[in-house]
Every structure is written in C-alpha cells, then in structure tokens.
Amino acid sequence: MSTSTIMVIILAVLTALVVGTFLWVYIRDKTIDEIRVDVYHLFLKAEHAFKESGSGKQKMKYVVSQARKLLPSWLQYFVTDEFLESVIEKWFQAVKDLLDDGKLNGSEEEEE
C-alpha cells in the first residue's frame, strides 16, 4: 500500500470516530424518546398547518425540515433528508399501528 492510501484510510477512520463520538454525546444528552416526542409535536403542528386533503407529502416535508433544525448544526451535515424522512416514516407507521388497536403488532400494515 502506498503512503497516500494509508493516509486516506487513517483520515476515514478518524472522521468516523469523531462523528461517532459527537453522535454518542448528542444521544447521551437527549434520549431517543425525547427526540420522538419532539417529532410527534412536529406532526401535530403539520396537521394543523396543512388541513387540506391529500397534503401528506407536504406535511412530511414540513416535519423533516423542522426535525432537521432540532439536530445540532454539526450533525445536520451528516444526516440526509432522505435518511431523516425514512426514520420519521417508521415512527409514524409505528404510531398508526399503535393507535389502530392499542398494540404494536403490524396490524396497520396489513390493512393497507
């Protein structure tokens, strides 16, 4: 291996360690449940802001943009809108599943 290849590998490992450390500190200071509560409140705001029928995509775009602002500025560079949307979508589906019969059992997914 050449010296430049070794340097690139070392830089990649150091970058991963730094990002991982910052992410761990953020999660340590704010639990996943607190983050979910914040996102749930964003869903409620979106429901009140966009009352017209068929505005689901607009609501999700609003929630993702506002959830991004909740992240520390350094973390916003590493988390894409697509990733954030996929996480929020999973939380939203879990909430719908819980609300349909009071259990997290995938029954909401079966109805669609």
pLDDT at 10: 92
Please spell the DSSP secondary structure of the chain, one letter per residue.
Answer: --HHHHHHHHHHHHHHHHHHHHHHHHHHHS-HHHHHHHHHHHHHHHHHH--STT-HHHHHHHHHHHHHHHS-HHHHTTS-HHHHHHHHHHHHHHHHHHHHHSS-SSHHHHH-
Which pLDDT tens digit goes with each residue over 92-103? 787 777 666 666
Per-residue pLDDT of the chain (112 residues; tens, 9 = 90+): 788 888 899 999 998 888 888 777 766 666 667 777 888 888 888 888 887 777 778 888 888 888 888 887 877 888 888 988 888 888 778 777 766 666 667 776 554 4
pTM for the model stands at: 0.55
CA distance linking residue 1 with residue 51, whole number of Å: 60
